[in-house]
Structures are given as structure tokens and as C-alpha cells.
Chain A
Amino acid sequence: SQKIEQNSEALNIQEGKTATLTCNYTNYSPAYLQWYRQDPGRGPVFLLLIRENEKEKRKERLKVTFDTTLKQSLFHITASQPADSATYLCALDSFLGGSYIPTFGRGTSLIVHP
């Protein structure tokens, strides 16, 4: 069966360091992969999308890599800040009803300490 794995343990880092979150998947051949941020009691917010033919995508302090051979995506936040503390969700597309609908991992909690 299809499976998306994100580290269930919270990642604790010091302010200013680079946070790296991992998303592994099995039995998928995704056309693209998305990363979302979710704050407590709020809906997920879209951050970045990377396509299967892209190795890396950047947006300000965010960087995503996508290795279809390893079936893995890495999500990096450079110069992390306490405001970056949140849960980060990885999502892979599933084709449904004519569009690609993301299927979500459980997310990894990031805590940035001042």
C-alpha cells in the first residue's frame, strides 16, 4: 500500500540553525510533492511544490529537494526563527477526478528555541 513517512518525533533546534525535515514514501510515483505548514488549531498553509523532474526548489529561507530514486524529499529552513515553530506536512499527489489531490503525511513538529 502507499505510505508516506515523516518523523513523528519533534525536531528541536536553536535559533539561527538550519532545520531539515524528511519525507519518505513507498509505492508512489508522484508527479509532484508539496510541503505545508500547520499551526495548532489552524488549517495547513501551502509552502512549496516540487515536480518529479526538479531536484531542488527554493523560496526565501526555504529549500526543498526531491530524490525520486531514494523516494525522499528534504525540507530545509535556513536561519531558523522561533516563528518557524509549527508542524510541517509533506503531501504527494493522487490523481482523482481529473486533478491531482494531495495525500498527506502525519507531519513533523519543529520547535525553534531562542
Chain B
Amino acid sequence: SAVISQKPSRDICQRGTSLTIQCQVDSQVTMMFWYRQQPGQSLTLIATANQGSEATYESGFVIDKFPISRPNLTFSTLTVSNMSPEDSSIYLCSVLDRVGVTDTQYFGPGTRLTVL
């Protein structure tokens, strides 16, 4: 199974600033994902990041607000731009790993963001 690390694990930020979250995987993976999980809510997919192409954003999420980089097969970053208190959430990086003929999803530990 893939082992995923994220930096930072948590941060407290001021309104209007930006934060870049890093995701590192211990193996090469094609598909990486960024999720948001607000308190008491389910995981919400922000975007899919494939190496060598533009990220694909889900409804309600835009590149200007959540720019993503995917420079290689083991690393990705998500930036939360011009933050507001509504952006306070846990942000999770995830990858798909094929086990046999089935894709299984693995998650990083998450980044807990608080915006004041």
C-alpha cells in the first residue's frame, strides 16, 4: 500500500493569506486527489491531479482559489488562496493504488487548517 505524508500537519492562518500544502507519496502513482473534509461532513473531492496535465476540478472548486501542482509521480501541492474562515477544514491528499484488478484509495494524514 502507498504511504503518504503531508506538510504541514496543521496551520492557523490569517484571512486573505494563502497556504500551500505538500503531499509526498513513497511510490509512483498516476492519479492523486485532493479532498476537503469539514467538521461533521463527508469527504468532498476538490480536484484530481495527474502528472503532466492540468488538474481537473469538481463543481464548486476553481483553479484560482485552489491551484494545484503535480510536477512528478510522487509529489503534489494544493494552495488555498485568499483564505477566509469558510476555508477552515481538513485537507487530504489521496492516491489510487491498484491491488489486483481493483483500485484502492489511500489517504494522507491530512492538514488541519484554521483561518481566523
Which residues in A have some Cβ–Cβ distance to B below 8 Å?
A: 4, 32, 34, 41-46, 49, 51, 89, 91, 96-97, 99-107
Contact = CB atoms under 8 A, between A and B. Distances in A.
- What is the interface of chain B mostly: helix, strand, loop, or mixed? strand
A110 B50 CA distance: 35
Interface residues of B, number: 26
Contacts of B104: 34, 46, 49
A45 B107 contact: yes
B107 A44 contact: yes
A4 B31 CA distance: 24
Contacts of A97: 31, 48, 50, 56
A46 B31 CA distance: 17
- Quick one: which of B4, B107, B109 has the most chain A CB within 10 A? B107
Given A41-B112, A46-B104, A99-B31, A106 B41 contact: yes
Nearest to B107: A43
A42 B108 CA distance: 8
The 10 A-B pairs at the shortest CB distance, nearest first, are namely A43-B107, A104-B43, A106-B42, A104-B42, A43-B110, A44-B107, A99-B103, A43-B92, A43-B109, A43-B108
Contacts, number: 54
Contacts of B115: none
Interface in B78-116: 90, 92, 94, 96, 102-110, 112
A104 B45 CA distance: 9
A101 B46 CA distance: 13
30 contacts: A4-B42, A32-B102, A41-B90, A41-B112, A42-B109, A42-B110, A43-B4, A43-B92, A43-B107, A43-B108, A44-B107, A45-B107, A46-B106, A49-B102, A49-B104, A51-B102, A97-B31, A97-B48, A97-B50, A99-B103, A100-B103, A101-B33, A101-B45, A101-B48, A101-B96, A103-B45, A105-B42, A106-B40, A106-B41, A106-B42
Contact of A89 (B42, B48, B106): B42
Nearest to A107: B42
B112 A89 contact: no
Nearest to B97: A46
Given A44-B43, A46-B104, 15 more contacts: A4-B42, A32-B102, A41-B90, A43-B92, A43-B109, A46-B105, A51-B102, A89-B42, A96-B48, A97-B56, A99-B96, A101-B45, A104-B42, A106-B40, A106-B42
